[in-house]
Amino acid sequence: MPHPNDPALRSFVPVDPASDFPIQNLPYGVFSTAATPAPRVGAAIGDFVLDLAVLESEGLIDLSPAFEVFAQGSLNAFMALGPKMWSRTRARISELLRHDNPQLRDNKILRASALVPMADVKLHLPIAVAGYTDFYSSKEHATNVGVMFRGKDNALQPNWLHMPIAYNGRASTVVVSGTRVKRPRGQLKPPSAEVPSFGPCKRLDFELEMGVVIGQPSPMGEMLSEKQAEEMIFGFVILNDWSARDIQQWEYVPLGPFQAKAFATSISPWIVTREALQPFCVPGPVQDPVPLPYLQQTRPHNYDLQLDVSLRAASMNEAATICRTNFKYMYWSSVQQLVHHASSGCAMNVGDLLGSGTISGPEKDQRGSLLEISWNGSEPVELASGVSRTFLEDGDSLVMRGWCQGNGFRVGFGEVEGTIVG
């Protein structure tokens, strides 16, 4: 049987070469329809969602001894079955969708119930988020921010090149693409003020990130090897770490971000599996100094994954692209982040979400936040005739997209969108 990543595979479902969802991808999500409002698990293929709950109930996908795993409103139960079941199930879905397999292709009744037009579905948060940790792993981003606030000679903190830096965020406010984001309120103290005040954030920002979805647990008190950490990663989503810069500036000393990042974190509805991304693995930047032994890698864990961000103000007819970058630039890989997360003995859970940290590249147009793009508000971004931004305003809509380019196909994530409301 061909491997699901085989570039030669074709589906009986028509798929445009520019689609994010060819047969080589098969990302998982949770969806519902007006006719069947109960959320269940599906896989994206072209402009359709393949209803995996229907296929499981018909006996075309065997998850035994588990039962009705895909009829649930999150992927957590499926993820808990482990990497061997993930791989076996993806291979089975690929087999059923192949252009030369009549089993689903020629069963008109089953095909009509199992293949749902994407235009007819509502997409939900794909996982029950157990915990959320946000890293700070782009050297370019950390350097830009450091230069802004500490000067060129003290851009990186002494620990940054030795370990992945992170903070624990709020799982309760992780939301799916399309969820409107209310402008946060908080304590504000600009440099000119003697005392703080309380009110709406005036310097609202985005951060372009990837989210790592953890599909297997690890016990409290134990460390992880590189191989164990890799096998615990179920897949990836695009993640927008909304950030209130003025709230953050006042609160982050001495313990780091709190309310400035607790109000919302948006993720894309489709989880692209680690297996689907494997052909696009590339080495990351050279790490100097060499990390301590527990963080050293024996093989590449970065991905050649193109990303872009577009912004549309309420007065604009079309969105303007404000960032184009690549996930391959990340200094600390997702595997290193997970190894470090557990290194103290911290237990990891099914459904944990790890934000990569803002993804910036070496060029100005590769900066993954408005803080960097506008250089802390000193260089306004021109979006359209008469429209510019230093930070986000009410009514602004932000869209992030990401994909890996194959030979005649792309393995993509769809998009994560959020609109700011007052």
What Å distances lie between residue 129 and 66, 76, 169, CA to CA? 21, 9, 11
Rg value, the chain, Cα = 22
Tokens representing residue 109 in the block: 């009744």
Q: Is 276 exposed, middle or buried (0-12, 13-18, 19+ CB in 10 A)?
A: buried
Burial string for 297-313 (b: 16+ CB within 10 Å, else e) reads: beeebbbebbbbbbbbb
3-state SS assignment for residue 73 = coil
Provide the residue type at 286 as one letter: V
Give the Cα separation of 216 and 76 in Å (integer). 9
CA nearest 325: which of 311, 307, 305, 310? 307
Q: Is omega for the bond preceding 289 within 30 degrees of 0, making it cis?
A: yes
Cis peptide before 102 (omega within 30 of 0): no
Alpha-carbon torsion, ordered 352, 353, 354, 359, to 10 deg: 170
Q: Which of 124, 141, 162, 341 is catalytic?
A: 141
Residue 141 among the catalytic residues: yes
Is 237 within 8 Å of 385 (Cβ atoms)? no
- Is 9 within 8 Å of 100 (Cβ atoms)? no
Residues 6+ apart with CB under 8 A from 253: none
120/31 Cα distance (integer angstroms): 10
- Give the up-direction half-sphere exposure of residue 176: CA atoms within 13 A in the CB hemisphere: 16
Which residues belong to the active site?
141
